[in-house]
Each structure stands twice: as C-alpha cells, then as structure tokens.
Amino acid sequence: MKYDILQIIGAALMVGFAQGAIRLLIDHDSTGLLGWLGGGFALTLAAHGALVAVGVLLTGWSHTRAKALGRRG
C-alpha cells in the first residue's frame, strides 16, 4: 500500500509540474505554484523541470519496489 501511495504522489508531481512547465513556456509571466520562488523565468523553468524529474523517479522507483514484492505484473 505504501508504494501505491508513493506512485500516486510521484505521478501527481510529474503531471502537475509538467503542465506548469508547459504553461510557463507559453506565457512567461504565468509562474503557477512556484511564483513565490522569484529568480525569473529560467530559475522557475528549471525548478519545474527538477520537480518533474523527481516525480518520474519517485513513480518509477515505487513501481519497481511494488513489482519486487509481487504486487505488479
């Protein structure tokens, strides 16, 4: 159950921040959830990319762990 929850959290991170990165690329002033960060367009886009990568890694890792326990096919 723990790995299922981690996989959901990772997928939500990935989808949410990928959407934010795409929105930021289209409208440079739309910083979304990371508006408090400051630092301009480049830093905000890099933070979105890093959080997407964290989501991908968390989702993949939790899926692999669940599969090792025999919970995935």
Between 73 and 70, the more confident residue is 70
Average pLDDT of the segment spanning 61-66: 92
pLDDT score for 51: 96
Average pLDDT of the segment spanning 52-71: 91
In this prediction the pTM is: 0.86
Residue with tokens 């990935």: 14
State the Rg of the chain over Cα.
15
Residue with tokens 């409208």: 27
Biggest CA-to-CA distance, the chain: 46
3-state helix, strand, coil in the chain (%, to 5): 80, 0, 20
Three-state DSSP state, 8: helix
Considering the chain, what percentage of its residues have pLDDT values greater than 70? 96
